[in-house]
Amino acid sequence: MNIDFNKNEDHLKLLLSEVKSKLNVIHKGGGDKKIAKQHDQGKLTARERIRFLLDEKKPQIEIGAFAGYEMYEEHGGCPSGGVVVVLGYIKGKMCLVVANDATVKAGAWFPITGKKNLRAQEIALENHIPIIYLVDSAGVYLPMQDEIFPDKEHFGRIFRNNAILSSKGITQIAAIMGSCVAGGAYLPIMSDEALIVDKTGSIFLAGSYLVKAAIGEDIDNETLGGATTHCEISGVTDYKSKDDKDALNSIKNIVDKIGDFDKAGFNRIKAKAPAKDPKEIYGLMPKDGAKPYKTREIIDRLIDDSEFEEYKAGYGRTIITGYARIDGWAVGIVANNRELLRTKKGETQFGGVIYSDSADKASRFIANCNQKKIPLVFLQDVTGFMVGSRSEHGGIIKDGAKMVNTMSNSVVPKFTVIMGNSFGAGNYAMCGKAYDPRLIVAWPNSKLAVMGGAQAAKVLLQIEKSRLKAQGKEITPEDEKKLLDDIHARYEKQMKPEYAAARLWTDAIIDPLDTRKWISMGIEMANHAPIEKAFNPGVLQT
């Protein structure tokens, strides 16, 4: 291996180590004291509940672990958005589990908590997989109620989704394992079946203090809305459990009886490991994200037997398209080629840039995959579309629009992996978050922004200088340099994968070696939902 390979490997492994270190802190939720308090109440933590519920020897992936990272610090923070979401298996059946973390502000809902819960329901709805709610929440976080309560994508949307999921026959099971108050009480009761844990679980529209204030009635919370009340008097809940583990075992037994599902029918054969060592990805991805590299070498380390049937290999070469298998599943891959290329006319084409011919090729390939019912995998390392008079006169806007159009109207499931840069309209064309990938993940070296940091800092500097000049202020060269450095540092922070993952622009920051697992579980998940809509790219200009 050469020196660059070793430097690249050290850099990416260091970034991965930093991500894992941050996750170790995030996984502690509200911290050791809050975890101990949860245990003193006879309750398991959210992560302990999920660990007990899911099949131990089956794979699992966590959605949105970084949600809320470095957000709401003036409120004490909100690790993982105060809710843990994991895709795994219960009695061999793929399920999505959503568990409130009561160690974080008593499981109260911050704005990001609502967004994360909606993301979980979206996954269940798109893929027709059972969703399990483990409820332990104090309800809306009142100091931020205006950002979580009234809008379309706020708290109320959760209950609307409960109803839609139910209408589509998608199983929802809820276990009330702690507090469940006010509007939040509707979530478990709008599920198909509801369990409640004796003495620790409670559910009511208003607690005892509010009841006293509102109507003057003296009553304790257990009599008002505990397990005995709701299982024997009101009939609101269906099962009474003696403790957390008893409730979780009941869920296992219920899920075990669920019948088989109609399948989408995606092609799968026996899986093979890549012929080329996936660990070499660490050294192949350059430390400097602007440097060229051979994307095909990365693809070879992600696909079964490193066997790739490339489509239009000699045309539109800044995008690589082709058929392969990942963990046995047939996939169509659309990847940004990061090589520095020469055309037959001797002209240079920059890797990671989408040209007219590559956009045209990608459009045709996406259409082919839809015709053949093959899931799509987008491997992003894109700086955007080619600019300049030659590109504009050649119709880059039309070809780019065609690619976006075809990708947007695709009916096969799409999965997006941000391997490096994800800038500007390139993010859109390569199936960014706005284009409904079933899952979207980022590697630790990824950068997500409207443009690169150096370019953006210069643009923002000019805007700031103009503003100060309008105020009659002069800027010295020293002031200008400090201003540029400050802008660049702020912008670079916003480009980091943690910043994107905190806001759920991506579902996770993953080890490149876990890419195959994420895509495989994603396609298995999508296979639960037969394709009911015909592919129609709309007004597709040719």
Query: pLDDT digit string (tens) for 216-266?
Result: 989 988 988 899 999 999 999 999 999 999 999 999 999 999 999 999 999
* CA gap 322, 393 in Å, rounded: 29
pTM of the entire structure? 0.94
Tokens of 34: 């809050």
* Residue whose entry in the numeric block shows the structure tokens 């020469």: 342
Contact 380, 422 (CB under 8 A): yes
> Residue 462 has what pLDDT?
80
In angstroms, how far is CA 302 from the centroid of its own chain? 20
Q: 389 falls in which pLDDT band (50, 70, 90)?
A: low
DSSP-assigned states of every residue in 48-87: HHHHHHS-TTS--EEE-TTTTTT-SGGGT--GGGGEEEEE
Helices (H), 373-430: 389-393, 396-408, 424-429
* CA gap 414, 436 in Å, rounded: 8
How many CA within 13 A on the CB side of residue 376?
34
Average pLDDT, the chain: 92
- Going from the C-alpha of 403 to that of each of 131, 395, 439, the distances in angstroms are 34, 13, 20
Closest among 370, 268, 365, 265 to 325, alpha carbons compared: 268
What's the mean pLDDT in 132-149? 90
* CA gap 404, 398 in Å, rounded: 10
Query: 182-191, 338-347, 425-434, 482-491: which range is least confident on average?
Result: 338-347
**Rounded to 10 degrees, what is the CA torsion of 34, 36, 40, 41?**
30
Residue 388: count of CB within 10 angstroms of its CB: 9
Query: pLDDT digit string (tens) for 84-135?
Result: 999 999 999 999 999 999 999 999 999 999 999 999 999 999 999 999 999 9
Query: pLDDT digit string (tens) for 160-195?
Result: 999 999 999 999 999 999 988 876 777 888 999 999
Query: pLDDT digit string (tens) for 366-380?
Result: 999 999 999 999 999
Tokens of 531: 């394709």
Contact 381, 420 (CB under 8 A): yes
pLDDT for 314 beyond 70: yes
What's the mean pLDDT in 473-500? 84
How many CA within 13 A on the CB side of residue 94?
21
Q: 519 falls in which pLDDT band (50, 70, 90)?
A: very high
> Residue 206 has what pLDDT?
79
Contact 104, 53 (CB under 8 A): no
Q: 348 falls in which pLDDT band (50, 70, 90)?
A: low
HEC assignment per residue over 1-42: CCHHHHHHHHHHHHHHHHHHHHHHHHCCCCCHHHHHHHHHCC
Tokens of 88: 């795994």
Q: Which residues pair with 382 in a beta bridge?
A: 422
